[in-house]
Every structure is written in C-alpha cells, then in structure tokens.
Amino acid sequence: MPVRIPSPSSFRPKAGIDQSVLENNRELLADIGRRNILRGSLSLGALVMLTGCDVTNDSAVQSVLRRVSSFNDRFQEFMFRPNHLAPTYSEAEVVKPPRFNAYYDANDVAPVDGTTWKLELAGRITDKTPWNVQRFMQLPEQEWIIRHICVEGWDYIGQWSGVNLRTFLEMVGADLKAKYVAFKCADDYSGSIDMATALHAQTILATKYARQPITDPYGFPLRLRTATKLGFKNPKWITAIEVTNTYPGGYWEDRGFNWFAGI
C-alpha cells in the first residue's frame, strides 16, 4: 500500500493563514508534509486545525511546524488535557455525506452484515459478552458535531452519535487504569488509543451520522469517533475492543505513523 504524500498545493489554507505564508514556506511544508506522513505526525492543515493556532507570519509558521514535527508520543501524551473539549460546530456546518477515506478505494469496501455482526470484547474487561446490533443500538446516545482531520491535509465537520466510550467501558467493567484500548475492524484495519483519550468526554462509539444509522463506506454499524485525534485514529467497521497494558499498535501506527496523533 503506497503512502500518499500530499503536494504543497493540497494544503488547504484556513481562514487566518495568509496565502503568502504558504507560498514562502513551500519547501519547508513539502518537506514536513513528506516527513510527517512517513513518520505520522501532522500536515500544516492538520496542525493549524488541531492547535487552533492562528499562524500569520513566516517565522511563527516555521517554529510551530518544527516544534510539532518533533513531538513524540510521550510529549503529546504529556500535553493532553483530559478535561479540555475540542471545538464543536453547528448543525448547519455538517457535511453530508461525510468524506470517505480508507487504505483502499471506496469501491473495494466490503459492507458488514448487520444481522450477523458482533462486537467482541477482550482483555481487561469483566463482562465479555458479545454485543449484537440490536442490543448495541439500545445504549444511551450522545451527539458531537466535531471536525475530522486526516493527516493528508483535508477535513470536514461531522455529526456523530453513539454511546460515550467511557460509559461503555464502565458498563462492561473495563479496567480504566489499563493503558490502551485497541480496536479490530472487519477490513483488517486496526487501531489503538491511550486510556486518557478513551475516557475523554467527546470520545464515542458512533452508530449514527446526522442522526441516521451510519452508512457505508463510513463504517456501518460501529466506528470510533474521537474529537482530539487525527482521522486514522478512528477505526471504522469495529468488530472487537480490547483493553490492555500491552502496546497494540495499529494499521498505520505499524507503518510508521505517530501513535498518539492527537491533542
């Protein structure tokens, strides 16, 4: 699977960024884009949106990019603010349908059969009874309108609802002191997040988009939606959740992407 490297022109300038800043830093951006995709940290677009920082002059852009491009997992984890909410948006801003991405083409998506789908639970969880769609859909829901940011440098605002992950983990008796929550997917994708992010108020197991059951290719019947992590940290078509102290890695993480990849 080739890693897609964004060209500088694919960095979409946001309000507050002077186009000339991008022009003047074309080489640096291209270099950072290349290195960050390979190492899995951030593109400029992602960086600006995640930090919400208004970079309006060259030296600020350069210093911020250099600083962030050198963030490692431990530093990002250290900087994580568990009680800080990521920005939320209005219903009018929701993009319908969502924008698709996966490590393969949308035409190659293999839909999950909701009648046979099961969510398996593993690891440091007391009640490992598998969940079927019917039972899962009865869980209490919460909704977040949040920005999805892909490392490739694009983003969209989405309206996601489903059970809060902390609520779910408490319900099944998960060890909330464990280090990782790992996800397996129907399509051979996998991912894992730190427990602090799993317990964050805006992290949900999403079953709906714009108040309707998630359709394909967006991950029916179940996907993760975090407000504080990049797109690739949000597995779709989840089939198993494991709570563990053993570093689980993930599809992109195993290919060199920065594991924490969030704020």
Ligand X SMILES: Nc1nc2c(c(=O)[nH]1)N[C@H]1C(S)=C(S)[C@@H](COP(=O)(O)O)O[C@H]1N2
Nearest approach in angstroms of CB 129 to ligand X is: 23
Binding range to Mo ion, per CB under 5 A, among 25-33, 72-80, 84-92, 150-158? 150-158
Is residue 102 within 8 A of residue 234, CB to CB? The reply is no
Q: Does 49 bind Mo ion (CB under 5 A)?
A: no
Beta carbon nearer to ligand X, 131 or 237: 237
* 62 CB-side CA count, 13 A: 10
Residues in 88-107 at the binding interface with ligand X, rule: CB under 6 A: 98-103
260 binds ligand X (CB under 6 A): no
Sign of the CA dihedral with 122 first, then 127, 133, and 139 last: negative
Residues composing the chain:
263
What does the block give as tokens for 217? Answer: 């290719």
CA-CA-CA-CA dihedral for 198, 250, 230, 175, to nearest 10:
0
Stretch that binds Mo ion, among 95-103, 174-182, 199-207, 211-219 (CB under 5 A): 95-103
Q: Which of 6, 8, 153, 235 binds ligand X (CB under 6 A)?
A: 235
Q: Which residue has the tokens 């080489």?
A: 27
What is the rounded distance in angstroms from the CA atom of residue 237 to the CA atom of residue 219? Answer: 4
Q: Is 165 helix (H, G, I), strand (E, B) or coil?
A: helix
Stretch binding Mo ion (CB under 5 A), from 149-157, 158-166, 167-175, 254-262: 149-157
Taking the complex as a whole, the smallest distance from the CB of residue 223 to ligand X amounts, in Å, to 7
Of the candidates 45, 217, 231, 262, which one interacts with Mo ion according to CB under 5 A? 231
Query: Judged by CB under 5 A, does residue 189 bind Mo ion?
Result: no
Give kind and range of the element (H or E) at residue 208: strand 204-209
Residue whose C-beta lies closest to ligand X: 231
**Residue 125 or 150 with smaller CB distance to ligand X:** 150
Q: How many residues belong to the site for Mo ion (CB under 5 A)? A: 4
Q: Say how many C-beta atoms besides its own lie within 10 A of residue 64's C-beta.
A: 16
Our finding on whether 78 is near ligand X (CB under 6 A) is: no
103 binds, among Mo ion, ligand X, none (CB under 5 to 8 A by kind): ligand X
Helices 26-39 and 58-69, interaxial angle, to 10°? 20
User: Binding to Mo ion by residue 144, rule CB under 5 A?
Assistant: no
Shortest distance (Å) from residue 8 CB to ligand X: 20
H helix and E strand count, the chain:
8, 10
CB 224 to ligand X: min, Å: 8
Contact 43, 11 (CB under 8 A): yes
Query: Which of 92, 95, 195, 90 has its CA nearest to residue 144?
Result: 90
Q: Which residues bind Mo ion (CB under 5 A)?
A: 101, 150, 231-232
Q: Which residues bind ligand X (CB under 6 A)?
A: 98-103, 148, 150, 185, 187, 189, 218, 231-232, 234-237
